[in-house]
Amino acid sequence: MAPNGASELAQELPDARGAQADRKGVLAQSCARAGENEVRKLGARLADTVRMERPAALYVHIPFCASRCHYCDFTTYVAPDDAVEAYVAALVREWELVADQAARPLQTVFFGGGTPSLLDARRWQRLLAALHRWFELAPDAEVTVEANPGTVDAEKFAVWRSAGVNRLSFGAQTFNDRLLAAIGRSHDARAVCTSVERAVRAGFTRINLDLMFGLPGQTLADVEMAVQTAVDLGVEHVSAYWLKVEPGTPFHEWHQQGRLQLPGEDLEADMYELVRERLQANGYVHYEVSNFARPGGESRHNLVYWRNEPYLGTGVGAHGYAYGVRYENVRSLAAYGRRLAEGVRPVASFQPVTPAESAENTMMLGLRLREGVSVAAFERRHGVPADRLFGEELAHLQRLGLVERCQGRVRLTERAWPVANAVFEAFVGVLTVH
């Protein structure tokens, strides 16, 4: 049975979404008839005091993998050594082009992928030297490297530590070897434990483990074992994600063919509740929908995203949000290298973010966090009280018992966590409907 009345809530929420859609339709018609209605008046006052701040966070995409997992739709490549060498050189050129847009100093840097830890120690020395050459980092900056189990060694640990890397994120996914093989991972469960233990011996205290649930053939016992193993390893942070079957992946093709047997929504809800209960019982704070940390061990870089703050994205296929614009880099390795060889930033597309869209994002992303959204901070940033913009949505969600007000903040209730996405959907298009 789904936890905390999730099944009952799931029945109520379609009606809520239908009512919301009706309201948006009426709102659109009203706006077309009367240009001076309340929503437009408020829209004229909307602002975003953060949008022009210099980004103090940098994301770096390292796209290379030894093989591609069956569920992955990220920008990744299995590439020869000369392509890796060329990419490192191109990435440094991109940093040269964007460095003057960054805050001084940067507060967070995140090397994601792909599998950043596939790069050898020599290339890491080059990259990290260039990072410090083009960017100033705060003395306490959080610098994270994603790593796959079995791709780390003492030499890389030493290079990372000497250059200020102070946080590692290992993609464990599960501790069941059968499941690891089924999802296309190239490591076994023992490699996860060995890699974490070696990182600790090398002096790393800030370590995250990624776990997945909702995998084909996965049981509650599998999830329980994975959570307990993460706790026993003593890691500071755990990210626990639902499997999402993405178009263009082998899993999507198999699912379309009826060859992928997934646990189903009720069992996945039970898995999520088990993760929440066990990690919180062992001292982890459930601070974001999919993330748990020892007190003070939250991912500072990811908090930038959830607080709707600006960040620079570099590397092939990377996304960024800076100076009121969301952008995406080209996804082709060849195009990425060619653009940078010409001295041009490799941006494929960009989308200006209006103050109205930013206000919606602040609410939707902020509600992902246990801390929720500060109503005072929202008004300071956007110039209008949240209740003036989203009063009907918030009131309806409160009646459903999905959000609450506490000490000047709006946040999810305990019963809302399993159906959190439905809460976030309530704010989509409220201000940006055309």
Q: How would residue 40 be classed by pLDDT, with cut points 50, 70 and 90?
A: low
Q: At what angle do helices 81-98 and 333-341 cross, to 10 degrees?
A: 50
| Mean pLDDT on 181-208 | 92
pLDDT number for residue 20: 47
pLDDT number for residue 248: 84
CA–CA separation, 94 and 328 (whole Å): 14
DSSP category for residue 309: -
pLDDT number for residue 43: 61
pLDDT tens per residue, range 228-285:
999 999 999 999 998 887 888 887 787 788 888 888 889 999 999 999 999 999 999 9
| Mean pLDDT on 288-314 | 98
Per domain, the residue ranges of the chain are 3-49+356-425, 57-306
CA–CA separation, 299 and 309 (whole Å): 14
pLDDT number for residue 23: 44
pLDDT tens per residue, range 390-401:
999 999 999 999
CB 207 within 8 A of CB 170: yes
Percent of the residues in the chain that have a pLDDT greater than 70, as a whole number: 89
Bridge partners for 144 per DSSP: 110, 167
CB 402 within 8 A of CB 425: no
Tell me how far apart the 2 most distant CA atoms of the chain are, in Å. Answer: 68
Report residue 240 as tokens: 């626990």
Beta-sheet pairing, 373-374 with 325-329: unpaired
Residue 355 reports pLDDT greater than 90: yes
Percent of the residues in the chain that have a pLDDT greater than 90, as a whole number: 75
pLDDT number for residue 383: 96
The owner of tokens 């050189």 is 89
* DSSP labels, 60-116: EEE-B-SS--TT--SS-B---HHHHHHHHHHHHHHHHHHGGGS-SSEEEEEEEES-G
CB 205 within 8 A of CB 218: no
Higher pLDDT, 202 or 11: 202
Q: Which residues contact 153 (CB under 8 A, 6 or more apart)?
A: 121, 198
pLDDT number for residue 433: 61
Omega within 30 of 0 (cis) for the link into 105: yes
| Mean pLDDT on 319-329 | 97
Please calculate the CA angle 178-183-189 and round it to the nearest 5 degrees: 45
Class of the CATH domain delimited by 3-49+356-425: mainly alpha
pLDDT tens per residue, range 14-38:
444 444 444 444 344 433 333 345 5
Same fold, 3-49+356-425 and 57-306: no
221 burial class (0-12, 13-18, 19+ CB within 10 angstroms)? Answer: exposed
Higher pLDDT, 246 or 388: 388
pLDDT number for residue 33: 38
CB 104 within 8 A of CB 51: no
Q: How would residue 53 be classed by pLDDT, with cut points 50, 70 and 90?
A: very high
Q: Does domain 57-306 have CATH number 3.40.50.620?
A: no
pLDDT number for residue 44: 64
Residue 182 reports pLDDT greater than 60: yes
pLDDT number for residue 30: 37
The sign of the dihedral angle between the CA atoms of 300, 302, 303, 308 is positive
Residues in the chain, how many?
434
Residue 150 reports pLDDT greater than 50: yes
pLDDT tens per residue, range 370-380:
999 999 999 99
| Mean pLDDT on 115-136 | 97
Q: How would residue 100 be classed by pLDDT, with cut points 50, 70 and 90?
A: very high
Provide the mean pLDDT of the chain: 89
pTM of the model: 0.89
